[in-house]
């Protein structure tokens, strides 16, 4: 999903997203397992909101996204704040940035947009090779139970004076697979412009992600959920809302 059309309203659409929690969770984890971390690459950075928050925490940030319009907005935000960040347009399945980082993060279910086993393994391998020795990769995904019992077969909507959306989440062929049909209405002078987005996501059992991560070489893989850094089992994670997986080379 390229997201270019949605880029113009993405910040409004994500206004209530828990960016502060993602940033504080990241810092708390890194303070515990990699306190010397300096360089961080944000994979699927969107318009750069989290990237900028982590930069404010003192990390040297690089933001990667496939959508050029998202990156343009991210660069504008960084310029407005006077923050130096490198922005790169790349596909995570072919990620190759030419240097290594202490930490890679990928939040807001970016990994759920990687919907096949082969592509996920490619992403994990690319991230592994992008990390320094003892580097850390932290990402989140929808829990299986949340995808099946809360998201699929549900309708979500929001209406403001100048923008609104209707979002229907249909189940796919596989457990944890979702097709999001989204319609946006954005006010332009005296009329509303409409555009549609179709997003495809899939989540897998937590234990499956662990197998794939260890298969590409990660030595240490731990699990927690819902912004609580306490370690839990894969089975417990599957019954949560948002699964966090922390990997170390």
Q: From the centroid of its chain, how far is CA 245?
A: 12
Domain containing 190 equals 146-202
Question: 68-99 burial by CB neighbour count: b if 16+ within 10 A, else e?
Answer: ebbbebbbebbeeeeeebebbeeebbebeeee
Collapsing DSSP to helix, strand or coil, 243 comes out as strand
Q: Report yes or no on 158 lying in a domain.
A: yes
Integer Cα distance of 185 and 65 in angstroms: 25
* CATH code of residue 177: 2.20.25.110
Integer Cα distance of 71 and 80 in angstroms: 14
Q: Is 219 exposed, middle or buried (0-12, 13-18, 19+ CB in 10 A)?
A: exposed
Strands laid side by side in the 220-225 sheet: 86-89, 60-65, 39-43, 101-106, 131-142, 242-248, 220-225
One domain for residues 18 and 90:
yes
One domain for residues 211 and 244:
yes
Sign of CA dihedral 147, 152, 158, 163: positive
Q: What is the pLDDT of residue 186?
A: 79
Q: What is the pLDDT of residue 1?
A: 44
Alpha-helical regions (H) of 34-178: 49-56, 68-81, 117-130, 144-146
Q: What is the pLDDT of residue 197?
A: 85
Q: Report yes or no on 52 lying in a domain.
A: yes
* CATH code of residue 72: 3.40.50.150
Integer Cα distance of 197 and 218 in angstroms: 35
One domain for residues 34 and 64:
yes
Taking 50 as the pLDDT cut, the residues of the chain under it are: 1-4
Question: Is the pTM higher than 0.85?
Answer: yes
One domain for residues 162 and 139:
no
One domain for residues 12 and 94:
yes
Domain count, the chain: 2
Q: Report yes or no on 41 lying in a domain.
A: yes
One domain for residues 129 and 44:
yes
Integer Cα distance of 63 and 164 in angstroms: 28
Q: Report yes or no on 1 lying in a domain.
A: no
One domain for residues 90 and 136:
yes
Q: Report yes or no on 2 lying in a domain.
A: no
Q: What is the pLDDT of residue 161?
A: 77
One domain for residues 117 and 54:
yes
One domain for residues 160 and 217:
no
Q: Report yes or no on 79 lying in a domain.
A: yes
Q: Report yes or no on 187 lying in a domain.
A: yes
Residues 6+ apart with CB under 8 A from 58: none
- Structure token pair of residue 44: 């699927």
Q: What is the pLDDT of residue 16?
A: 75
Collapsing DSSP to helix, strand or coil, 248 comes out as strand
Q: What is the pLDDT of residue 79?
A: 97
One domain for residues 122 and 180:
no
One domain for residues 233 and 161:
no
Integer Cα distance of 19 and 225 in angstroms: 16
Q: Report yes or no on 179 lying in a domain.
A: yes
One domain for residues 87 and 165:
no
User: Which of 169, 187, 202 is at the close of a domain?
Assistant: 202
């Amino acid at each position: 999903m390229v997201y270019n059309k949605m880029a113009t309203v993405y910040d409004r659409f994500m206004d209530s997203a828990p960016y502060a929690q993602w940033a504080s969770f990241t810092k708390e984890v890194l303070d515990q397992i990699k306190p010397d971390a300096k360089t961080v690459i944000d994979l699927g950075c969107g318009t750069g909101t989290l990237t900028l928050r982590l930069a404010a925490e003192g990390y040297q940030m690089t933001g990667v996204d496939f959508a050029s319009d998202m990156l343009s907005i991210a660069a504008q935000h960084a310029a407005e704040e006077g923050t130096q960040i490198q922005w790169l347009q790349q596909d995570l399945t072919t990620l190759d940035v030419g240097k290594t980082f202490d930490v890679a993060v990928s939040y807001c279910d970016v990994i759920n947009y990687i919907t096949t086993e082969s592509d996920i393994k490619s992403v994990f391998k690319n991230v592994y090779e992008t990390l320094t020795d003892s580097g850390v990769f932290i990402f989140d995904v929808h829990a299986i139970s949340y995808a099946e019992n809360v998201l699929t077969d549900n309708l979500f909507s929001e209406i403001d004076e100048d923008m609104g959306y209707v979002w229907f989440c249909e189940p796919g062929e596989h457990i944890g697979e979702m097709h999001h049909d989204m319609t946006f209405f954005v006010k332009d002078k005296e009329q509303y412009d409409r555009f549609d987005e179709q997003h495809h996501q899939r989540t897998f059992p937590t234990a499956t992600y662990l197998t794939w991560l260890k298969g590409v070489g990660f030595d240490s893989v731990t699990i927690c959920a819902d912004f609580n850094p306490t370690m839990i089992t894969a089975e417990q994670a599957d019954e949560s809302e948002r699964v966090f997986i922390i990997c170390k080379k």
